[in-house]
């Protein structure tokens, strides 16, 4: 059974876009200066989302690398281009 390496480039783009969205929303809410419960909740939710994204991204990478190593062996991570 052959298994191609995962498309990490596409995953990184999605994570980066979500983190940029969180950062922009936090900066925008702080710049507006609204000291309301809604603004506070939005900022807290963005920090929580960013932390969750980073935790899941790194955890999923470890699990995925382990699975790739089990199926493809050590040659899976040689310095070569991924298979199409």
CA–CA gap between residue 63 and residue 24 (Å, rounded): 30
pLDDT value of position 45: 95
- Nearest in space to 53 (alpha carbons), one of 27, 9, 18, 21: 18
Structure confidence by residue, pLDDT tens digits, 44-81: 999 999 999 998 888 877 777 777 777 777 666 665 56
> What is the distance, to the nearest Å, from the Cα of residue 9 to the centroid of all Cα atoms in its chain?
11
The alpha carbon torsion through 52, 58, 59, 60 (nearest 10 deg) reads 100
* Total-model pTM: 0.65
């Amino acid at each position: 059974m052959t298994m191609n390496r995962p498309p990490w480039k596409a995953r990184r783009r999605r994570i980066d876009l979500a983190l940029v969205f969180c950062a922009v929303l936090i900066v925008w809410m702080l710049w507006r200066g609204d000291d309301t419960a809604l603004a506070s909740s939005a900022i807290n939710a963005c920090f929580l989302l960013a932390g969750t994204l980073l935790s899941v991204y790194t955890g999923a990478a470890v699990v995925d690398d382990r699975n790739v190593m089990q199926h493809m062996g050590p040659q899976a991570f040689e310095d070569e281009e991924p298979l199409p």
